[in-house]
């Protein structure tokens, strides 16, 4: 995805592009989080990738990085005003996605029921 963008969606996608960014957005939505704290909220993410994504989001102006000069080191990440706006803009998409999940689950149940009918005692 290269700039300049062909439409606003591209510009937004570009910012949330990355396997974890949306999850990071949600993790930070409830308030400031420390690095390790955020990592714990995202099971499976590596430190390298989390740091990467946070840096990119900071560069994109949706995350604020606050460094406390102390030992042990402490760094807090929080959403900027624009980050919160982005999260709000994501809400309808979230609703749409939840509907899709519900549909997928319904289909899965049908499939399971059909399979059970074909081989009830296999």
Partner DNA sequence: CGGCATCCGGGCCGATACTG
Partner DNA sequence: CAGTATCGGCCCGGATGCCG
Specify the 3-state DSSP secondary structure of 31: coil
Q: Which of DNA, its own copies, none has residue 97 at its interface (CB below 5 to 8 Å by kind)?
A: its own copies
Q: Which residues contact 71 (CB under 8 A, 6 or more apart)?
A: none
Q: Indicate which of its own copies, DNA, none lies near residue 35 (CB less than 5 to 8 Å, by partner kind).
A: DNA
For its own copies, which is the closer residue by CB, 51 or 89? Answer: 89
Smallest separation, CB 75 to DNA (Å)? 4
* C-alpha distance from residue 48 to each of 13, 39, 92 (Å): 22, 11, 31
Which among DNA, its own copies, none contacts residue 29 (Cβ within 5 to 8 A by kind)?
Answer: none
């Amino acid at each position: 995805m290269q700039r300049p963008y062909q439409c606003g969606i591209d510009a937004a996608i570009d910012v949330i592009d990355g396997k974890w960014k949306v999850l990071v957005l949600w993790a930070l939505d409830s308030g400031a989080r420390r690095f390790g704290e955020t990592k714990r909220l995202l099971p499976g993410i590596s430190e390298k990738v989390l740091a990467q994504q946070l840096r990119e989001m900071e560069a994109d102006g949706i995350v604020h990085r606050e460094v406390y000069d102390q030992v042990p080191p402490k760094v807090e990440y929080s959403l900027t005003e624009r980050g919160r706006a982005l999260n709000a803009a994501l809400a309808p998409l979230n609703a749409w996605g939840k509907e899709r999940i519900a549909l997928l689950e319904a289909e899965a149940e049908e499939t399971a029921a059909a399979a059970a009918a074909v081989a009830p005692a296999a």
